[in-house]
Amino acid sequence: MATATQTIPIEKNVAAYVAKPRPMLINGKWVQAASGKTFPTYNPSTGEILAHVAEGDKEDIDRAVAAARAAFEKGPWRNITPSERGRMMWRFADLLEKHAEEFAQLESLDNGKPIAMARMVDIPTSVDQLRYYAGWATKIEGNTIPISAYGAKYLAYTLREPIGVVGQIIPWNFPLIMATLKLGPALASGCTVVLKPAEQTPLTALMLGELVQEAGIPDGVINIVTGYGETAGAALAAHPDVNKIAFTGSTEVGKLIVHAAAGNLKKVSLELGGKSPNIVFADAEIEGAIPGATNGIFFNSGQVCCAGSRLFVEDKQFDRVVDGVSQLASKIRLGPGMEPTTQMGPVVSEEQMNRVCSYLESGFSEGAKAVVGGGREGNKGYFVKPTVLVNTNEKMKVVREEIFGPVVTVMPFSDVDDLLAKANGTQFGLAAAVWTRDIKKAHRIASELRAGTVWINCYGVLDSAMPFGGYKQSGWGREMGHEMLNLYTEVKSVCTPIS
Ligand code: NAP
Ligand code: MG
């Protein structure tokens, strides 16, 4: 691997942060796991242990849920005005912004993502999400309803009330963004939270917890329990005193969450996997579509739920697009997250690297061919080469299943109906894109695609204000935008005769 530059020096506060085992935040106190156990988190750029964190399990989840329940029912939180809640959230965002460089470094170290990306995308997006939802705290409204029951006069209106204690289980691909995205609407609507970060990347969520008190958010409103999915996560999903679970991760675990939630019929929202089609028509501005398709798959080492992992190109431009994407892919500077010139970091873990490589092997055994890439890079850290696969078809595992790594399959098409059948021929429905200069065709295709987001002549554009979520097995509900507040509120109808 070409390592032309040096890694940046680690900030003093970050070095001190990872030097000590990190406790969990329960009821405003930093505590060890009841079992006393800890587990390591790794730096994927080196494969070395980065830090140790508390290994919370069922007992700790019980403590955290009890704290969240008490804060919801009895604490000062329920009497704090919406305006003050919004101001607290804004302070929370300001504090995060003030410590942006520390968070960017910690995110890069724990997840492996390029420091440049953490600085440019992860931290500013997290700040923006908190601010966007801070604005909503004062705007969660019900309606007045003109009812006609029994011919009498009634006043009827709806209230939108916080759903209660919320369990939030998040993945490792955008650790801080996932935490702020989930916390934002919960705080804006007056809920209390138990957050469980992914075992691979617990550190930035914990560091965010350090800012909670300084922002003035009362004890017990935000609790953060680190631990494994099968123990801590499962206990949270099954907990009888949790009113709602918000989960982001694999479709497989999403189904386990649904089963676990059945005990008390808690509300569930799910943001799951994808296998998003990215469609390039021959009449597109090909010079824009090529980098668009390249970034659409290789950003964040392909570990993006809405990655454009199935690239469909109209046959007349197939060779040109394959060449263009392959050339750009071969120039991506793969390197350790903490090198400022790195464009693509490692994947998050040894397990994920092996999973991606075994997908590649399966593709090759079924006849796929790598134009560039095709396996691991180097033997230190968890690097996978950006890979462009051709000779693929919809029967292959690499085309059907979410790889969640830097691998794109490129397939030609000529007939639009056949293309749509293939693009929609997946259990997923998270996102899709279409590249064409023909406005009518663009909007027709957008309407035919069974996906929660469709990009036209761009890829991967997300915003705190724009709803995001999946059709089919890509999820339940929509996050971001005002839609997300519906997931955190109950509607109450109030009705009284007035004559
Ligand atoms: P995952 O297992 O779905 O993990 C997501 C979160 O769920 C983590 O916090 C995990 O905890 C927790 N979890 C795991 N098992 C659980 C259970 N039985 N009950 C409650 N919570 C549980 O994802 P992964 O194993 O890290 O990645 C596997 C694949 O999932 C990837 O290759 C990719 O295809 C997909 N994925 C999708 C997204 C997305 O945004 N759509 C994000 C990540 C991964 P621990 O990590 O502590 O075990
Ligand atoms: Mg890590």
Sketch out the chain's domains with CATH numbers. 12-272+475-493 (3.40.605.10), 277-463 (3.40.309.10)
Contacts of 334 (CB under 8 A, 6+ apart): 1, 342, 343, 344, 345, 377, 383, 385, 386
Task: Determine how many CB atoms are found less than 10 A away from the CB of residue 259.
Answer: 10
pLDDT at position 4: 52
Residue 458 falls in the annotated catalytic set: no
Predicted local distance difference test score (pLDDT) of residue 151: 87
From the CB of 198, is ligand 1 less than 6 Å away?
yes
237 lines ligand 1 (CB under 6 A): yes
The Cα-based distances of 111 to 3, 101, 452 in angstroms read 19, 15, 27
Which residue's CA is minimally distant from atom 44 of ligand 1?
249
Instruction: Return the SS3 of 342.
Output: coil
Task: Look at ligand 1, atom 25, and give the residue with the nearest C-alpha.
Answer: 250
Are the CB atoms for 429 and 474 separated by under 8 Å? yes
376: CA distance to ligand 1 center in Å?
22
Find, among 412, 393, 411, 403, the residue nearest to 274 by Cα.
403
Report the chain's mean pLDDT, rounded to a whole number. 97
CB of 254 closer than 6 angstroms to any ligand 1 atom: no
Q: What is the pLDDT of residue 449?
A: 98
DSSP 3-state assignment of 463? coil
Question: Which residue is catalytic, options 191, 305, 306, 357?
Answer: 305
Q: What is the pLDDT of residue 6?
A: 84
Catalytic residue among 102, 271, 402, 479: 271
Give the residue ranges of the chain where pLDDT is below 50: 1-2
Q: Do the strands 48-54 and 144-145 form a parallel or antiparallel pair, or are they unpaired?
A: unpaired
CA 64 to each of CA 36, 89, 165, 389, 434: distance values in angstroms, whole numbers, following the listed order: 16, 21, 10, 46, 45
Mutate to test the pocket of ligand 1, among 168, 169, 253 (most ligand atoms within 8 A of CB): 253
Question: Does the CB atom of residue 477 touch ligand 1 within 6 A?
Answer: no
pLDDT above 90: percentage of residues in the chain: 98
Helices 286-298 and 318-331 pack at an angle, to 10 degrees, of: 50
Q: Is the CB of 171 under 6 A from ligand 1?
A: yes
For residue 271, indicate whether it is catalytic: yes
SS3 of residue 311 by DSSP: strand
| Residue at token pair 């919960």 | 186
pTM recorded for the entire structure:
0.98
Per-residue confidence (pLDDT) for residue 75, from 0 to 100: 85
Beta-sheet pairing, 38-43 with 48-54: antiparallel
**Residue of 199, 250, 473 to test ligand 1 pocket, by largest number of atoms within 8 Å of CB:** 250
CA of 249 to the centre of ligand 2 (A): 16
Radius of gyration of the chain (CA): 23
Model pLDDT for residues 466-480, shown as the tens digit of each residue: 999 999 999 999 999
Residue-wise pLDDT tens digits, 411-449 = 999 999 999 999 999 999 999 999 999 999 999 999 999
What residues are paired with 314 via a beta bridge? 413
Determine which residue's CA is closest to atom 15 belonging to ligand 1.
229
Amino acid at 253: V
Q: What is the pLDDT of residue 5?
A: 67
